[in-house]
Amino acid sequence: MDTSKITTPINEKVIKNLNPGDKVEITGTFYIARDQAHKKLIELIKKGKKLPFPLEGQIIYYCGPTPARKGEIIGSAGPTTSKRMDPFTEILLEHGLKGTIGKGTRSKEVTNAIKKHKAVYFVTYGGAGAYLRQFITKNELVAYPELGPEAIRKITVKDFPAYVGIV
Amino acid sequence: MRTINTEQITNEVSRLWQDANFYLDKDIINVIKKKLQKEKDPRVKDALSIILNNAELARKERRPICQDTGIPIVFLEIGQDVMIKGGDLTDAVNRGIRQGTGKGSLRPSVVNCPFDRKNTNDNTPAVIHTEIVKGDKLKISVMAKGAGSENCSQTKMLLPTDGEREIEKFVLESIKLASSNPCPPIIVGLGIGGTLEKAVYLSKKALLAPLNKINPDKKIRALEENIIKKINKLKIGPNGFGGGTTVLALRIEKFPCHIASLPVAINISCHVHRHKEVIL
């Protein structure tokens, strides 16, 4: 299977060359965020406050990893169901977010918003957290440690495998 | 009367809770291997290969197969000739879940209250179902249930004049709606009859049966096989990549019901279908 390599941050030029179904390997950084973190990010945007990380050209990975064991970078770290983040996605795209990674379907509204903002939605292997953790080389806490597995994290990835879902 | 100590129950729950999360059952691995040989699309083959690769890594490294290590559901079949000593049974089960979560570095995925949503940090309290049965044994089944598939489950009160066709229609509509969200290939538990809560309980219990178990009721077996065929024709497939592998198994559990009712519950499990049992 043909695989194209992508490096973050991503821009419209990179996204223009992607087609649904393409396999990609992504190198760079992802921000891990899911349900409660999204709720908090949107609250900050609505209040006009600064976000804990820059959205411009970035990719959010919908994930809640298992705790890292002693001496390890991260635990199992596969994708969670993306559609739960649908209510929050368009506003993040409006503020510069370029990509999301998860599993499953997106709503019509989010599909349209992804196209409108020239962004991309990737799907990666659902239920394969033990496999996907191997592509993560660094893991840093960014915000909301009180959320435990739902905290925002910045992870560094090398050749992280995914497929283009919506573009 | 036979005595079982709660300490033994705690130890077994801790072990089963971890094992369920680390070791994917051989019957699932074998079915996926067979499906992999039949599929032609490179993306579908890739997705199925990664499922096998992932299960092998988890087994070797004793780590969670999936980062959603699930909400613990503990089924206790308590023989009526068993006496449980050494303290509260519910506490004993929850201690086991707490210990297993820590020892196995499982993800804390349970919040204290549906409104406050504060993580309990140890996956307690478990959802516990008890049944009193004949004999002097205690059967413990621990299921680690991921939310991605649980969220796609459905229940409906059909009309008593509805039949197999309407049941089938409801199941197919639900699976279509679930699409690739519950991490196909899935396992489906159907609870038919009883009351609202009985049907839901049966749909969950249906997921506990071994994958290769054949329904002894011929008529029900035919219905199961028919629905399996139709689901696989929906071409959802692993990760939503299409192909003929959307459901690996479908089980029906039934119970008598009211003249005016036909409750149907659908409980979906992802391919990381995790449950372990022990008989004490």
pLDDT per position as a tens digit, B203-229: 999 999 988 889 999 999 999 999 999
> Which residues are registered as beta bridge partners of A99?
A59, A120
Distance of CA A73 to CAs A67, A68, A77, A135, A141, Å?
9, 6, 11, 11, 12
- Both tokens of A112, joined, read 């349209």
pLDDT of the residue at B211: 86
Cα A106 from Cα A103, distance rounded (Å)? 9
Give the domain extent around A160.
Answer: 3-66+73-166
A2 pLDDT exceeds 90? no
% of chain B surpassing 70 pLDDT = 100
> Which residues are registered as beta bridge partners of A143?
A152
Sign of the alpha-carbon torsion through A129, A57, A152, A47: negative
A48 pLDDT exceeds 80? yes
Contact B143, B137 (CB under 8 A): no
Residues near B12 by Cβ (< 8 Å), separated by ≥ 6?
Answer: B96, B140, B278, B280
Q: How confident is the model at residue B117 (pLDDT cuts 50, 70, 90)?
A: very high
Please name the member of A23, A66, A123 whose beta carbon is closest to the beta carbon of B106. A66
User: Backbone phi, then psi, for B11, in 5-degree steps?
Assistant: -60, -40
CATH number, domain with residue A31: 3.20.130.10
Residues near B276 by Cβ (< 8 Å), separated by ≥ 6?
Answer: B16, B19, B20, B23, B141, B142
Residues near B124 by Cβ (< 8 Å), separated by ≥ 6?
Answer: B72, B94, B97, B98, B110
Distance of CA B66 to CAs B38, B78, B183, B247, B272, Å?
25, 31, 11, 19, 7
Cα A138 from Cα B218, distance rounded (Å)? 55
A1 pLDDT exceeds 80? no
Q: Where are the domains of chain B?
A: 2-22+65-145, 148-273
Give the tens place of pLDDT for each residue, B82-108. 999 999 999 999 999 999 999 999 999
Q: Are B50 and A83 within 8 A, CB to CB?
A: no
pLDDT of the residue at A128: 98
What is the average per-residue pLDDT within A62-71?
Answer: 97
Q: How confident is the model at residue A51 (pLDDT cuts 50, 70, 90)?
A: very high
Give the number of other CB atoms < 10 A from CB of residue B91.
14
Chain A residue nearest residue B57, CA to CA: A130
Q: Are B270 and A127 within 8 A, CB to CB?
A: yes
Residues near A10 by Cβ (< 8 Å), separated by ≥ 6?
Answer: A57, A59, A98, A99, A120
What is the pLDDT of chain A when averaged over all its residues? Answer: 97
pLDDT of the residue at B85: 97
What is the average per-residue pLDDT within B244-268?
Answer: 97
Identify all chain B residues contacting A148, using CB atoms and an 8 Å cutoff: 108, 119, 121
Structural domain count of chain A: 1
Distance of CA B94 to CAs B31, B50, B153, Å?
33, 33, 25
pLDDT of the residue at B156: 98
Q: Are B119 and A125 within 8 A, CB to CB?
A: no
pLDDT of the residue at A36: 97
ipTM metric: 0.96
% of chain A surpassing 90 pLDDT = 99
Sign of the alpha-carbon torsion through A12, A14, A20, A25: negative
Give the tens place of pLDDT for each residue, B174-208. 999 999 999 999 999 999 999 999 999 999 999 99
